[in-house]
Amino acid sequence: MPYPTSKSLIKRLKRPVTAITAYDYPAARICDETGVGLILVGDSLGMVVAGNEDTTSVTLDHMVYHTEMVRRGVHRAVLVSDLPYATYETPEMALNSSLRLMEAGADAVKLEGGFGQISKLERLREAGIAVCAHIGMLPQRVKKEGGYKKKGKSEEEASNLIRAAIALEQAGAIAIVLESVVAEVAAKITDSVEIPTIGIGSGSECGGQIRVIHDVIGGYPWFVPPFATVHGDVARVMQQSVGKFIKEVSLTTEKQ
């Protein structure tokens, strides 16, 4: 069965693109039924699900497993899966890793980086695999860069980001995630390309926005990114519900 074409996926990404990072069947199904346009199986599961400090511990097997469960809940949205750290060092590695994610149910894969990823993107395009690009702050390089830093502050860095976005579009990317890019630079990138830009911590003038489901619903109380607006308090509801369960069991046991 042929994979979805890049052209067809771009048509499905209606602006403004609403994108949610989800990791399991119930979350994916709820997001899909609610009308989210793109669902990302993100390697951020290394932090949000597994409790690690960054994304670099996530393996391809982890991503395949979570892609399979998310796929079961998605019938409308475009489903994109992250290529995890150190699984796309060469064009052939990128192809082999992407094939596994596509077989698990992804409509497209996402890779981090700019000019250095062009040959890999082109190899995937030749194989009929759609690619979402990701520039700006790159979580997989957080150890190398010594932390999470805003990108595009200098004129040179801003120019490089704009040129990289144009090159990625020309190489066949269906969309570009802009993470922690200076808002004015993100706006210029958005104006410079025809494919959607999807912002996270990059201002409101992108072609859409992406957030981790836990940040939207208040499901991760230990840390909320400064750019995220919390629209629920799921963590508190869970605490209250579990507390009531504990009381239920205690009362039931006392009566025996």
Which residue numbers are catalytic?
179
Kindly give the residue spans of alpha helices, DSSP state H, lying in the chain. Answer: 6-12, 25-34, 45-48, 60-71, 91-103, 118-126, 142-145, 155-171, 183-192, 213-217, 234-255
Position 33, amino acid: E
- Count of residues making up the chain: 256
d(CA 133, CA 128) in angstroms, rounded, equals 16
d(CA 160, CA 234) in angstroms, rounded, equals 40
Alpha carbon separation from 215 to 96, 183, 209 (Å, rounded): 32, 20, 13
d(CA 238, CA 248) in angstroms, rounded, equals 15
Residue appearing with tokens 């994304």: 55
CA angle 144, 145, 151 (to 5 degrees): 145
Residues 212 and 200 sit within 8 Å (Cβ to Cβ): no
